[in-house]
Chain A
Amino acid sequence: MSENHLNVQRKLWENPWGYVESFFIGFGLIVTGFFLEVFVSTSNTFTLSYPFNLYFLIGYVLTLFVLYKWFSTSQIIKWLTKVPASISSITLVTFMVMIMGIIPQVSSESNIINNLGLNKITSNWAFLLILFQFLTCLGLISIKRILQFKWSNFGFILNHLGLFLALIAGILGTGDLQRLSVNTYEGKPSWIATNSQKQEIELPFAFYLKDFVIDEYNPKLALIDNKTGSIAENDGKNLYLVEKDETYYIKNFEIKVNEFLATSARLGDRYHPVNELGSPPSAFISVRNIETDSIINNWISSGSFSQPYESLKISEDYSIVMTIPEVKKFSSDIDILTQEGERISTVLEVNKPFKHKGWKIYQLSYDDKMGKWSNLSVLELVRDPWLPVIYIGIFMMIAGAFYMFWMGNKITKNQ
């Protein structure tokens, strides 16, 4: 339909506004935003929290509704519900995000970057203003299609309303998002958390860490260049996991693992299996030089925070070492103690958070230096009351994506 209009010579700002006007307005918003960045000091970022963000949302949606319902004949509302306004705002949001994708979002030496706020795009006025137009377009056309009550609009509404909900809840929700971390120690209750500003906060429940467990992969064998101390190239292949009775070939060495102890200690001329704090893995290997047929064998160990590592020098150029085992899995066996005297047991693991009273509890980290002997487990608590809305939006968009996949170019109508 718009094709006809565009073919007719049309003056600027005459009905209906096209791309020139749209980009003009969009640039106007961005320039205004940069002015605000430069001249209005914004030392602390401004976020709305409950209940004001909720009021804002209700007010915004009502306003959009009223604007669409009773002012849809006005120039500006007509413009906002047409594609040029959308495309210009999508393009300019893309432009602002592209800045974020090029300039690192950390404090900068450059005055221009600092003053224009190019290193904090997500709270930059220019970005927020153009995003506001973007959302307003999105909101208005969603309302438009919803009010048409047509089945054929189903996919459209899933995509547009879904994106609208996910974005608006994500933006407004940041004010209510709480992210705390708690250090828990084996055999002790902990109820003091710290927030991102390093303030201490007392929780209404306590964690009692019964056991912190790290599962490790076996250590790996690596061939080390004696001169540089770095891993010698092995035809681009990965290192081998140490496994008892396996034979590996690296360069022209045949390496046989005769013995492998997951936790051990050196006693005299050999390692023995023991299970104490800081007892490292070790292996007895024999290395045959395939060219000369000479054999060397000895114990190697990757060491730990308390024990030295041991390598085996196999030639002028090379040594065999055992790497520090990598972590396969770490988990915390905890009890949550509530004020009502309840005791809830659960096991936390990466990718397996636990829900409790509106909090999601994540296994975050542990004491790296102590590795599997760490008796510290760091938990993270996240509370995000707007999450259900975001998820509704996300799942609407997932459904919308399936719809698009299925419909393909049948979506493009009036051909």
Chain B
Amino acid sequence: MTWIDFPLYSSIVVILWIFGLVFLLISYKKEAVLKIANLLFVAGWAVLILFVLKLWIELDRPPMRTLGETRLWYAAFLPLVGFVTYIRWKYKWFLAYSIIMAGMFLAINYLHPETYSKTLMPALQSPWFIPHVLVYLFSYAVLAASSIVAVKGWYDSYKGNFDLETLKLADNLVYIGFAFLTLGLLFGALWAKEAWGHYWTWDPKEVWAFLTWMGYLIYIHYRHFHIHKSKQALTILALAFVVLLVCWFGVNYLPVANTSVHTYTQY
């Protein structure tokens, strides 16, 4: 078994990352220790990549055919996207989120060794699969964060001390999240074309992903045009998030659910 060393490697990675997260937390008080946190994250990531490479060499094919293998890739790429976003936008919570998610995927693999070989249907064995899921993971996280900011905005304006900076933070999160959302949508389209020969079929999940995208599009344009109408902007942001939640969890409960191809429920 080529996964034989996984418990060892993943433990090292997770331990390094946990220490990194602790230092990240401390760095809110004492900025200097942030370097240590980053060093630990990078070290953990390097160990993980070493394992992926070893596995790849031993299997003699890109490890992308089983559920366990795809989770390994999520764990490998999440910190990378987290770092790029961090370098650009300096959101520490986002770096922590990406590391925690990556650690979670490692933990799932560790706890369910039987999924190392759990089969993936042929259509899912595509280089587009991982980027497609990953960017959605990020997009939902950032957009959810924008909604939290919106809630804060509501609360502040209720208290009468609303600050426009709050909305600007929401804007930034929406732009970043929307960029990821667009990528998720388009990677999905390109993949579908390679696998099934059509890029868009108005499958229920696709419909709701599209609706989510349109919801944030309304927010972006409204904000661009009406810089000072903060209440309305916050309302639009809240509604867009409701649509996102329907897309994420709700589609299965709608009357259209049984016509969807997106019902693998195995991420």
- Which A residues form the contact surface with B (CB < 8 A)? 2-3, 83-84, 86-87, 90-91, 93-94, 97-98, 100-106, 122, 170, 179, 217, 237-241, 326-330, 349-353, 360, 362, 380, 382, 390, 394, 397-398, 400-402, 404-409, 411-412, 414-415
Contact = CB atoms under 8 A, between A and B. Distances in A.
B226 A350 contact: no
B182 A2 contact: no
B227 A105 contact: no
A328 B123 CA distance: 10
A3 B211 contact: no
A328 B183 contact: no
B125 A329 contact: yes
B122 A87 contact: no
B28 interface: no
A111 to B, nearest CB: 17
B20 to A, nearest CB: 24
A47 to B, nearest CB: 16
Interface stretch (B52-60, B101-109, B150-158, B212-220): B212-220
Given A83-B224, A362-B197, A407-B175, A106 B259 contact: yes
A405 B176 contact: yes
Contacts of A350: 122-123, 125, 195
Contact of A97 (B89, B210, B224, B256): B210
B61 to A, nearest CB: 11
A238 B89 contact: no
A406 B88 contact: yes
Contacts of B198: 179, 382
Contacts of A352: 194
Interface stretch (B4-12, B32-40, B69-77, B200-208): B200-208
A238 B122 contact: no
Given A94-B214, A351-B194, 13 more contacts: A2-B225, A101-B207, A103-B256, A170-B200, A237-B112, A240-B114, A401-B179, A401-B180, A401-B182, A404-B178, A405-B180, A409-B169, A409-B172
Contacts of B112: 237-238
Interface in B59-117: 65, 85, 88-89, 112, 114-115, 117
11 contacts: A2-B225, A100-B202, A239-B114, A351-B123, A351-B125, A401-B182, A408-B89, A408-B175, A409-B172, A415-B168, A415-B227
> Which residue, of A83, A94, A382, has the highest number of chain B Cβ atoms within 10 A?
A94
B223 interface: yes
Contacts of B178: 401, 404
B70 to A, nearest CB: 14
Interface of B: 65, 85, 88-89, 112, 114-115, 117-119, 121-123, 125-126, 164, 168-169, 171-172, 175-176, 178-180, 182-183, 186, 189-190, 194-200, 202, 204, 207-208, 210-211, 214-215, 217-218, 221-228, 254-256, 259
Contacts of B197: 179, 353, 360, 362, 380, 382
A409 B119 contact: no
Contacts of B207: 97, 100-101
B186 to A, nearest CB: 5
Contacts of A170: 199-200
A300 to B, nearest CB: 19
Interface on chain B toward A: helix, strand, loop, or mixed SS? helix
Nearest to A86: B221
- Which 8 A-B pairs rank lowest in CB-CB distance, beginning with the nearest? A83-B225, A405-B179, A350-B122, A101-B207, A409-B172, A409-B171, A401-B182, A404-B179
Contacts of B224: 83, 411-412
Contacts of A329: 122, 125
Contact of B254 (A102, A105, A179, A330): A102
B119 A326 contact: yes
B168 A409 contact: yes
A3 B225 CA distance: 8
A386 to B, nearest CB: 11
A150 B200 CA distance: 33
A101 B199 CA distance: 18
B255 A102 contact: yes
A305 to B, nearest CB: 21
Nearest to B209: A101
Given A409-B168, A415-B227, A94 B215 contact: yes
Contacts of B85: 405
Contact of B217 (A3, A90, A237, A405): A90
A241 B65 CA distance: 15
A351 B122 contact: yes
Contact of B196 (A105, A362, A397): A362
A205 B115 CA distance: 44
A397 B114 contact: no
A97 B211 contact: yes
B186 A394 contact: yes
Nearest to B206: A101
A239 B225 CA distance: 55
A397 B217 CA distance: 14
Contacts of B194: 351-353
Contacts of A405: 85, 88, 175-176, 179-180
